Homo-oligomer: A and B are copies of this chain.
Amino acid sequence: MESNYVYRNITDDLRAAISDGTYAPDELIPSENTLAAQYGTSRVTVRKALHILENEGLIRPKHGKGYFVLSPEYNRFLLDFVDKPASGSSKYLEINVIPAGEALAKRFLTREDTMLVVIRRLLLEDETPAAYDEKFFPYVRGEPLIERELEYEHFPDVFTDKYIPRGIWTKMEIETEKAPQNVALVFGCAPGETLLCVSRTVFSSENSPIGFGRRWYSPAGVLTATSNYSQSERKASEQRGG
């Protein structure tokens, strides 16, 4: 039960005490000095332990006061949206360069004659269509902007390898939408049938839109998400051998 590592004992004890209500939300846990004395260790080691609990979302330090116990976060979910599914395959329907046109020009805040790359794909599970996916992004030769963001395959002509965008982020909207004719055709359902649809807008670190995608799921399609993302994070990184 007892770990060889002092900090491990501290985190385990405090985690249990918080879990069983010994320290309730908004209460203070013992101070760094108290814990250091209690465990016969240095403040540095105590702080290491407390940092871990802070990252787990259990406590938060307040300068000059102490460490407060936090209430559990219940409404944050981790959604795993893979561009290219691990299981199943994908089939390209179209890769093209087109002028933006009115609707997309609005999304990208550019002119209607801006050239966009369009990629349309069919995602398959067990040989049957699972989702119809399309993406648009500005065609800028040599600028690799969103290749990695959307985890495209490699287009050596368009993208360089060295620069990997960081700070890019995506906003996702999940809603129902009536299937356009080409989508309905793929799923073998009636045009106008209501499908699960996920729209994504990719933003640069300066918050300007640099990519847009939409994905329609087959009538049987499901998206899953899990809560306790900090916990699942911790477990995942342990599995990766962090």
Contacts and interface: CB of A to CB of B under 8 A. Distances in A.
A148 interface: yes
Interface size of A as a range = 35 or more
A170 interface: yes
Contacts of A80: 75-77
Oligomeric state, in number of copies?
2
A153 to B, nearest CB: 14
A25 B164 contact: yes
Interface string A231-242: 110000000101
A81 B77 contact: yes
Contact of A76 (B79, B164, B228): B79
Contacts of A176: 176, 194-196, 217, 219, 221
Nearest to A79: B77
Given A169-B231, A175-B223, A77 B78 contact: yes
A50 to B, nearest CB: 13
A181 interface: no
Contacts of A219: 176
Interface of A: 18-21, 24-25, 44, 51, 55, 58, 60, 71-72, 74-83, 148-151, 162-176, 193-196, 217, 219, 221-229, 231-232, 240, 242
Given A174-B174, A176-B219, 11 more contacts: A20-B163, A24-B164, A51-B51, A58-B166, A72-B164, A75-B83, A169-B231, A169-B232, A171-B227, A176-B195, A196-B196
